[in-house]
Amino acid sequence: MQRHRLIPLLPLAGIILVLPLLFPSAYYYRVAALVFIFAIAALGLNLLMGFAGQVSLGHAGFMGVGAYAVAIGPSHLGIAPLFSFVLGAVLSALLAFIVGRPILRLRGHYLAVATLGFGVLLTIVFTNEAKWTGGPDGMAVQQMLVINWTVRRISTWYWVLAVSFLLSAVIALNLIDSPTGRALRAIHDSERAARVLGVDVAQKKLAVFVISAVYASVAGSFFGFINGYVTPDVSGFLRSIELVAMVVLGGMGSIVGSFVGSAVLVILPQALTIFHEYEHAILGLTLMAVMIFLRRGIVPSLSAVLGGTYK
């Protein structure tokens, strides 16, 4: 009998449930909320990179679409925040569908540079369309409103985001253990073999690109909501690199790894502020050390050391 596909999430759900009991202040809720948000984006990127083997260095661009959707929708267009949130996801999917077709024909480094260009392009649009986006200074985001319930307190956001993250993880795990997921993993190893076995490689790549764009968009919208404002930095190149680093650090192809990668890269910079000007140097060194000693990423490597098959 095979182990149920959702079992890896149980310990994570347990931790998420207990964690708030240990939080001494609102600041901790905020950090945890950020971890969930980036974990959602990293999860989506992991489906694309870790499973299907297609790199994207512009994924924060879709975070930008999600963030600006919840900023522009309610303030400029009078669209309800919740609906703007959905609209952002739809828009991201559409955008991914359009650019994905030509871009995903490229492989390896060429795909990396093309996606990088896409991310940069979106950042330029967000910076220059000042009438809509407030330009480089950004713009305010109204609070999330679900019918007549406003999500205001950060502790409420903690639970909303925790549930959203777990749902995202369930959907990701569903996909992996399905005909589509198997085909994606096959594409990672050999596109030619996948094709002669009947897998429509171009269609599968496009599907996972669209899915991962929706993940990023959802994360971007949440990011806008909890910050209360949005600037073009949300879709910037550094943000995209950060997402890639989260996926690789936590473990390519590991769902729990995306959470761990996000946690490390959100919490570590906060924790290292005690080192003042050495903060970035220590952060860099830590990442290098982790990749040298846990080269398959934190979760898969530690799991292998402990003799398990936890993914």
Considering the rule CB under 8 A, would residue 183 count as an interface residue with another protein?
yes
Task: Closer to another protein by CB, 140 or 167: give it.
Answer: 167
Task: Closer to another protein by CB, 204 or 239: give it.
Answer: 204
Residues 187-246 that bind another protein (CB under 8 A): 188-190, 192-201, 207, 211
Please check whether residue 250 is in contact with residue 258, taking contact to mean a CB–CB distance below 8 angstroms: yes
Task: Closer to another protein by CB, 31 or 185: give it.
Answer: 185
Give least dist CB 66 to another protein, A.
19
Residues 253-292 that bind another protein (CB under 8 A): 253
Give the chain as a DSSP string: -PPPTTTTHHHHHHHHHHGGGG--SHHHHHHHHHHHHHHHHHHHHHIIIIIT----S-THHHHHHHHHHHHHIIIII---HHHHHHHHHHHHHHHHHHHHHHHTTS-HHHHHHHHHHHHHHHHHHHHH-HHHH-GGG-EE-PPEEETTEEE-SHHHHHHHHHHHHHHHHHHHHHHHTSHHHHHHHHHHH-HHHHHHTT--HHHHHHHHHHHHHHHHHHHHHHHHHHHSEE-GGGGSHHHHHHHHHHHHHH-TT-HHHHHHHHHHHHHHHHHGGGGGGGHHHHHHHHHHHHHHHSTT-HHHHHHHHTT----
Residues 117-176 that bind another protein (CB under 8 A): 171, 174-175
Among 180, 233, 286, 311, binds another protein (CB under 8 A): 180
Among 41, 186, 216, 255, binds another protein (CB under 8 A): 186
Give least dist CB 210 to another protein, A.
9
Please check whether residue 254 is in contact with residue 46, taking contact to mean a CB–CB distance below 8 angstroms: yes
Rounded to whole angstroms, the maximal C-alpha distance in the chain is 59
Give least dist CB 309 to another protein, A.
11
Give least dist CB 185 to another protein, A.
6
Give least dist CB 30 to another protein, A.
30
Considering the rule CB under 8 A, would residue 3 count as an interface residue with another protein?
no
Give least dist CB 167 to another protein, A.
11
Give least dist CB 300 to another protein, A.
11
Task: Closer to another protein by CB, 144 or 187: give it.
Answer: 187
Interface region with another protein, contact rule CB under 8 A, candidates 59-67, 137-145, 184-192, 243-251: 184-192
Residues near another protein (CB under 8 A):
5, 171, 174-175, 177-183, 185-186, 188-190, 192-201, 207, 211, 253
